[in-house]
Amino acid sequence: MPASFIIASSRIGTWCCIVVLAVLSLLPADEMVRTGFPGGAEHFVAYAGSAAIAMAGYGRSRGSVQIIGGFWVYAAMLEYLQHFSPGRHPAIEDFALSAAGALCGGLAVALFWRRFSETHRRWPAPFGRPGLHDK
């Protein structure tokens, strides 16, 4: 599969994840859908997956710090906005688990790209860093 297809698909997926995170975070309590897992696990997995997809799509042009930091700010905003959603209450624990998920998901893809680019010299340098495949 060409890298450009993966990047384009990941970019579309990133924006879908951002919309889904907002909808699920701000639904009124009586309309919430639960997976059966603990709420903290749901936060962690949702943000880990979203950050991983974002890193695959934007990591080369934006960098891991900007992407992971952006998800941290987004998680904080969505937790705060739960003040205005009926029956919902923001919690620092939910934010912490969301931030930890974004960190783990983002770093997993960053480390994968780094390892993959070192073993496959023909692959583009990860996240816009020139020179790894030129050595």
Q: Is the pTM of this model over 0.85?
A: no
Domain residue ranges in the chain: 3-128
Round to whole Å and give the CA distance between 53 and 16. 10
Tens of pLDDT along the chain (135 residues)? 677 888 999 999 999 999 999 999 999 988 888 888 998 999 999 999 999 999 999 987 888 899 999 999 999 999 999 999 999 999 999 999 999 999 999 999 999 888 877 776 655 555 555 544 444
| pLDDT score, position 126 | 53
Instruction: Count the Cβ atoms, other than its own, within 10 Å of residue 100.
Output: 17
Please give the DSSP secondary-structure letter assigned to residue 124.
Answer: P
The Cα-based distances of 129 to 3, 13, 60, 113, 134 in angstroms read 16, 24, 8, 11, 11
**Which pLDDT does position 77 carry in this prediction?**
98
d(CA 109, CA 3): 15
